[in-house]
Copies of this chain bind each other. A is one copy, B any other.
């Protein structure tokens, strides 16, 4: 399905709590679902430590490789929140209070509650543009093609709605799936041939499923070309008609 016209992206999940296994990552799935719907392919995800040098290294590499980079995590008020500073290094910009981001927080908090930790959430690369946060008001931001988002899933999800207005849609990636009551190995050969005949137009994936009542194989077809996708589905349904889950 990949070609030069594809709009591509990568996601960087920042946080020791994910790498220690303490917190399962929910943000990849939320961002990936939204991006695929927008027609933006997610080509790679990296989960990295709360370490400035690491963050700088990965952002620099991925921003040149893909159309978009999305980071989550590390923009809160505490000492382990260092993403905004790292992005300043990436773009060689000063790491300063952003006037508008500061204003939003100043308006929201009583003067006596607007402490240094809260002020820190307005520090970012000096030419950053804001991504509104309708939930807790500390804004995300972007510089060029790098979009910096929070790690808390509830806040991230609220901000995806805002980001959706900022980033233009591409051609939607359509997807059809088809559940078969069979083992993957039983259909592997035939499926390989079908994939061959739709090479670079439809991506066909095969995934075993297990639930209490039945086990089987989900065939997932993905394409930007609706006509070819429907054609592929027709062939899959015909080839495996005796295995289709009722």
Question: Which of A's residues lie within 8 Å of B, judged by CB?
Answer: 13, 16-26, 28-36, 41-50, 54, 76-80, 115-118, 120-121, 152, 154, 173, 175, 183-189, 191-192, 195, 203-208, 210, 220, 222
Contact = CB atoms under 8 A, between A and B. Distances in A.
Given A77-B188, A188-B120, A20 B42 contact: yes
A183 B152 CA distance: 14
A108 B80 CA distance: 51
A203 B16 contact: yes
Nearest to A217: B78
A82 to B, nearest CB: 12
Given A25-B28, A185-B77, A191-B79, A44 B33 contact: no
A206 B76 contact: yes
B45 A188 contact: no
Q: How many copies does the complex hold?
A: 2
B192 A78 contact: yes
B29 A43 contact: no
